[in-house]
Structure formats: C-alpha cells, structure tokens
Chain A
Amino acid sequence: MKGKALEKVPRGKLLRVEVNFDKKITWLRITGDFFAYPEDSIEKIEDMIVGLPVDFNQNKFAICFNDFIKRKDYQLIGLDASAIIRVLKKAMENPI
C-alpha cells in the first residue's frame, strides 16, 4: 500500500511524507521546505525508518528517533522527530 500526508508543522515548515508499506514500512520519502544539516541527514532518517512495523509504538520510537538525531548531531529546522512520526502515521492511515 501507499500513503501520503502533509502538515504545516506548527511554527515550522511544510512537511510531506510519502510511504510504501505492507506489514512493514518498505519505502519512505520525506520532503518539504524545511532545512536539515547536514543535508544527507534526511536520507539517513528515511533509512532508519524503513523496516519499522506499521504498528510501531509512537512514543517509544520518538525516544529512539530523538536519540538518533542527537547522537548524529543532526540539526532539523522547521520540523522535528515528532512531526515526522505524526505525518508518517497520518500517511499510513490514509492509503491511496
């Protein structure tokens, strides 16, 4: 299945998530008018999310996700881990 969702992150930028999934997330694309440093951090985040079961625990994953961002010293401006998770979940709730 495929899903797509977008959100104007509160006090942030426009965030779109496009996702392919069955029982697991098989492909993911995060796009929008945000900033991320270094730029390849978004690809690394996409890679990290691919493989997650579709019913992953949002709160538990948010802790891992934030830890990953902190450990890698990524700077996300105009979006954050919880916004990505929220839009990802929304995309999977509305399969195309």
Chain B
Amino acid sequence: MRWRVIPIEVRSAAMNMAIDEAISKSVSNGANPTIRFYKWLPSAVSIGYFQSLNDVVNKKYCKRNGVNIVRRRTGGGAVYHSNRGEITYSVIGPVDMFPKNIIESYKLICGWVILGLKNLDIHAEFQPINDIIVKGKKISGNAQTRRNNILLQHGTILYDVDVEKMFSMLRVPDEKLRANLIKSAEERVTRVLDFKQITATQTYEALLKGFTQDKEFDMGSLTDDELINAERLAISKYGTDEWNCMR
C-alpha cells in the first residue's frame, strides 16, 4: 500500500482535529493511507474523548493566555500542545493494515517515532499502553481510535516542553498537590532538547525519515474535498461547546 505523506503544517486546534477526521473519511472512501505532521497555532490543550473538560482544563488560564481547547476523537489524557515545544503526527489507514491487538498496533506506529528519534541518536522505547520513553522518562504520548474500519493514531513528540506552563493549563485532582505534581512531572517527562541541541525543523526531518523508512510513499497535500470537509467540521464540531464540553 502506498502512503501519502503530508509535510508539517501549522493549524488551529479545531482545524487539526477536523483534518484528521476529514482524512479518515477520505481513506474510508479509498484514498491512500496518510501520515501527516503538524503544529498548533495558537498553542492548545487537547483533551481525551472520555475526559470531562471542566475537570481537567483550567479554562480561565487558557482563555487569558489565548490557548485553544479542543476535544480529540481519541481517548487518553489532556495534552498541552505548545506551538514551539512539540511536533504532532497522525497516521490514518484501514484497520486491516495494522495489528488487531490494540497494544500491538500502538507498538507498531510508535516504532516509527522511535526510528525517527534514533536518527537523532536518541534511543527511545515503547512503554505500553501508549507512551514512548527515553531513559525512563516520557518523550511522546500517543492515542488511537478505530471507527468505520479506519485507524487513526496521533501523538506528540516533545521538543521543548515547559512543564510548569503545561500544568498551569491543566486542573489537577488536588490543588494542594500541584507543586508535587509539577516536580514529579519534571522528573517523568523529557524532551528532544535534553539530548541534542538541534532545531525543531531538524527534529521533524528526522521523524519524517523514521516514519517513511521502508515504505512506498508520495509527499502530498490535502485534497480540496478534504480541506472543505475539514473547514466544515472545524466550525460545526471541533469549534463548538457541544463537542468540547460533551463530558
């Protein structure tokens, strides 16, 4: 199967999630499986499909700082997508291209991230359920959904995370524990810059090489239909309280 690879682009939170859904639809209609890379502008918090927005996001802080909030189609936790601090990818293809076992399919796709990091001499490993770690610390979180026989997995690779800022966006179960949580997150989270002084562009290029290794692919772009569908979804779904506050 030949892949379409969409080079890194910068979009709003609603549009990024809408594009993933629009591509999922076109792949279910026969388009080639797709790998895309993207960043978020403005910076954003995405929450997992099953999370309660009010429980996990500090909405006032996000609004004051111009940070978008969006609910993903995938499960998992809340993620702060700093415009300069991380790179996001999506892999979208028919489910029969991937292992039926969910953890195995995470392992396969996370393996492409690991290959990308290896190109930077960063030796990462998959940690079930959905994380990638380097020297015991998380460098990438990943989330997957399977709908209409299409698998969508997206994930982030931390390039230059600011843990304290990240926690300012998120609500924690017990405010008294916030300081401990930040300290513990700083101990549990790492980033590309901790291992190599390179640019975000160089990091993206290494990831692109990792994702495309041993694959037949064409560099491509969104079709007009996908773009129109995504713009519609960004307005009618991902930009609405009905979707973002549904839990």
B-contacting residues of A (Cβ < 8 Å)?
6, 13-14, 16, 18, 29-39, 42, 75, 77-78
Contact = CB atoms under 8 A, between A and B. Distances in A.
Contact of A77 (B52, B129, B147, B173): B129
B76 A33 contact: yes
Interface residues of B, number: 23
B147 A39 contact: yes
A33 B50 contact: yes
A30 B146 contact: no
A77 B147 CA distance: 16
A15 B73 CA distance: 18
Interface of B: 48-52, 55, 73-78, 102-103, 129-130, 143-147, 173, 247
A16 B55 contact: yes
Looking at A30, A31, A33, A75, which has the most chain B CB atoms within 10 Å of its CB?
A33
Given A38-B147, A39-B145, A77-B129, A31 B52 contact: yes
Contact of B51 (A33, A38, A39): A33
Contacts of B102: 35, 37, 75, 77
A37 B145 CA distance: 7
Given A31-B51, A35-B130, 15 more contacts: A14-B173, A16-B55, A18-B52, A33-B48, A35-B75, A35-B76, A35-B129, A35-B143, A37-B102, A38-B146, A39-B49, A39-B147, A77-B75, A77-B102, A78-B75
